[in-house]
């Protein structure tokens, strides 16, 4: 089944709201094994909406609408589809009763326009709205299925998950649904990862292999259609094994979690503690680590050393590293090492990460934008420092430095060092 999502609303075209409904429905349809080929946004204009329906009917066999079921004259989705299909519209009595009751309970007279929310296209199945008044519509015509959902997410989501999904499952029969595994990587860029997997990606059929890059993270989704999880696991195994072998040094999770979640989990399992000393990242490593619930068990705290005095006073970085003729300066491997060792001692933790560098926008200490040193101090082991030359804007550099620091810690925790 090929689907198109049609979101109706001028506020989307004006950029007043972001189309989170399309994302939610795309994900929900994928879980049902339905491929979404297009998402369309059209304004509150009947002629243009009817044209959009005509186009969608030519390239999809399921049209999922969201928006335009409300009480106002601008809410046109039902009217437009009825006109397109040449069908009538009638009142859905249970919904009308609910609307009347609501107004009675409020002690106010019915506002006539609210009747519109109880309308059903001829032949449509009503979809219950637990969070609002507008009834949903589901119908089939000429082999095409139509699902009409409200626009407000808090009404749309439960309607889709309950009556909407049930209606779709009936139409799908016992068909296969999509199963996928998300592989998450750190310490490697998108193009380098793709190089490692290029022949697999080019030869892919079933399972499919899709790489994704977000800021500072890379992921690969391996998917197949199967009747159940067991069959899916069998179909995915060979591909997953091959990818695991090739990417072992970078593959930190087989689910969609950020690296800070994996690091906190590994520290927790081993009852080890972490502390942080940050300069150019300004607290971003700390902020990401503490997004993880339960991080308080392993994370003792950290120091943001944005000035040399704090580096010296709070972290014990020797003055001669920071100041004076020929000193390496704050942005140096020596300082990264001293910061990591200093904070580990001050906070008495098993691990300490440090980050110092120039995130831009201008050169500092004559060091170029993007030059960053990341240090890892570890109880009973030698401190490691990595030199990075990162590209991008200030936020991009800070984020990549943060993820790289977490990757160093993951390497150590997962025994991936020495590669």
Site for a second copy in 274-303 (CB under 8 A): 276, 278, 280-287, 289-291, 293, 295-296, 299-303
Dihedral, CA atoms, 374, 377, 381, 384, nearest 10 degrees?
10
- Intra-chain end-to-end CA distance of the chain, in Å: 46
Of the candidate residues 141, 196, 272, 346, the single one contacting a second copy (CB under 8 A): 346
* Touching a second copy, residues 137-156 (CB under 8 A): 152, 154
Of the candidate residues 61, 79, 83, 190, the single one contacting a second copy (CB under 8 A): 190
CA–CA gap between residue 226 and residue 308 (Å, rounded): 59
* Touching a second copy, residues 232-271 (CB under 8 A): none
**Cβ-based neighbour number of residue 6 at 10 Å:** 26
10 binding a second copy? (CB under 8 A): yes
Element housing 166 (H / E): helix 165-172
Structure tokens at 197: 């997997």
**HEC string for 28-44:** HHHHCCCEEEEEEEECC
Place of tokens 């120039």: 358
Query: Beta partners for 397?
Result: none
Distance of CA 123 to the CA centre of its chain: 38
CB of 287 to a second copy, least distance (A): 4
211 binding a second copy? (CB under 8 A): yes
Query: Beta partners for 214?
Result: 217
347 binding a second copy? (CB under 8 A): yes
132 binding a second copy? (CB under 8 A): yes
356 binding a second copy? (CB under 8 A): no
51 binding a second copy? (CB under 8 A): yes
User: In terms of CB distance, is 79 or 87 closer to a second copy?
Assistant: 79
CA–CA gap between residue 358 and residue 360 (Å, rounded): 5
CB of 122 to a second copy, least distance (A): 26
Nearest to 275 by CA among 302, 311, 305: 302
* Touching a second copy, residues 56-115 (CB under 8 A): 59, 70-74, 102, 105-106, 111, 113-114
Of the candidate residues 173, 199, 202, 203, the single one contacting a second copy (CB under 8 A): 202
User: In terms of CB distance, is 181 or 285 closer to a second copy?
Assistant: 285
* Touching a second copy, residues 359-418 (CB under 8 A): 360-362, 389, 391-396, 398
316 binding a second copy? (CB under 8 A): no
Stretches 60-68, 78-86, 306-314, 377-385: which one binds a second copy (CB under 8 A)? 306-314
Question: Which phi and psi (to 5°) does residue 376 adopt?
Answer: -130, 115
């Amino acid at each position: 089944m090929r689907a198109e999502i049609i979101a109706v609303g001028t506020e989307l075209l004006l950029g007043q709201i972001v189309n989170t409904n399309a994302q939610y429905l795309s994900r929900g349809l994928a879980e049902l094994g339905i491929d979404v080929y297009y998402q369309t946004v059209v304004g509150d204009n009947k002629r243009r909406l009817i044209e959009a329906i005509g186009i969608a009917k030519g390239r999809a066999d399921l049209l999922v609408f969201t928006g335009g079921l409300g009480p106002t004259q601008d809410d046109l989705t039902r009217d437009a589809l009825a006109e397109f299909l040449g069908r009538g519209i009638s009142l859905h009595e249970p919904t009308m009763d609910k609307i009347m009751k609501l107004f009675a309970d409020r002690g106010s007279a019915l506002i006539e326009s609210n009747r519109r929310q109880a309308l059903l296209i001829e032949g449509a199945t009503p979809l219950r709205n637990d969070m609002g008044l507008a009834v949903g519509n589901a119908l089939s015509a000429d082999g095409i299925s139509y699902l009409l959902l409200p626009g407000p997410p808090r009404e749309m989501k439960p309607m889709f998950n309950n009556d909407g999904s049930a209606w779709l499952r009936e139409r799908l029969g016992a068909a296969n649904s999509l199963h996928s595994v998300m592989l998450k990587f750190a310490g490697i860029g998108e193009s380098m990862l793709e190089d490692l997997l290029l022949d697999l990606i080019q030869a892919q059929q079933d399972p499919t292999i899709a790489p994704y890059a977000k800021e500072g993270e890379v992921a690969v989704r391996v998917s197949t259609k199967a009747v159940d999880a067991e069959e899916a696991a069998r179909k995915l195994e060979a591909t997953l094994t091959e990818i695991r072998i090739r990417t072992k040094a970078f593959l930190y999770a087989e689910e969609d979690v950020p690296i800070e979640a994996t690091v906190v989990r590994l520290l927790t399992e081993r009852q080890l503690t972490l502390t942080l000393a940050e300069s150019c990242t300004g607290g971003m490593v700390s902020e990401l680590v503490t997004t993880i619930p339960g991080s308080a068990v392993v994370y003792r705290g950290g120091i943001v050393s944005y000035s040399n005095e704090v580096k010296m006073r709070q972290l014990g970085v020797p003055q001669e590293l920071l100041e004076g003729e020929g000193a390496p300066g704050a942005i140096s491997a020596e300082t990264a090492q001293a910061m990591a060792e200093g904070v580990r001692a001050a906070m008495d933790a098993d691990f300490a990460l440090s980050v110092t560098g120039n995130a831009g926008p201008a050169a500092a200490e004559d060091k170029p934008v993007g030059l960053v040193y990341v240090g890892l101090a570890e109880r009973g082991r030698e401190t490691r420092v990595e030199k990075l030359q990162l590209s991008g804007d200030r936020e991009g550099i800070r984020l990549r430095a943060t993820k790289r620091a977490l990757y160093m810690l993951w390497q150590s925790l997962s025994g991936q060092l020495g590669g």
